[in-house]
Amino acid sequence: MTTGRVVSIHVAPGRGATTTSVAEVRAVPGKGLVGDRHFGRSANDPDAPRPDREITLVEVETIEALARESGARLKPGDVRRNIVTRDVALNHLVDRRFTVGEVALLGLRLCEPCTHLAELTREDVLRGLVHRGGLRAQILTEGVIHVGDDVRAG
């Protein structure tokens, strides 16, 4: 069993809006994270929740490596992923169930960097985050995720 930890949580009220670090967040299946940009949008809205937009995760080790390799000293919220983890290989969780605190998730696909992220940060993050930009997951059970919660994959 792999066990990691949540080191920070980030939500943004709208597309392109600055992320806010929070101590906890409620995860709701089919809707996403309360207070995040996709939560509560109508189905025809381009930013509406869909399974691969419900929650995103990234390893803090990736953010630290990016700083060493390119000098891109980004804060964890700058990479625009909701949950920042330590000591868990997120790429290995594609197509697997895992838990973050009391919330069950299903890893759907890698969260590759996009030009929107580069526009909001710096161009070299695209190259630096390829295949290690995080994980897109679907929320399977409702609950609250806290900073410090375990991330467990069986």
The domain ranges of the chain are: 9-25+35-87+104-148
Q: What is the mean pLDDT of residues 125-132?
A: 59
d(CA 58, CA 79): 8
Q: Are 95 and 107 in contact (CB under 8 A)?
A: yes
The identity of residue 131, as a single letter, is: H
Q: Tell me: pLDDT of 114 over 60.
A: no
pLDDT, tens digit, 9 for 90 and up, residues 145-154: 999 999 998 6
Q: Please tell me the distance from the alpha carbon of residue 86 to that of residue 58, in angstroms, as a whole number.
A: 9
pLDDT digits (tens, 9 = 90+) for 9-67: 999 888 778 889 999 999 999 999 999 988 876 666 666 667 888 999 999 998 888 77
Q: How high is the mean pLDDT of the chain?
A: 83
pTM value is 0.85
Q: How many C-beta neighbours within 10 Å does residue 74 have?
A: 18
CB neighbour list of residue 18: distance below 8 Å, 6 or more residues apart = 12, 77
For the domain bounded by 9-25+35-87+104-148, which CATH number is listed?
2.40.33.20
pLDDT surpasses 70 at 116: no
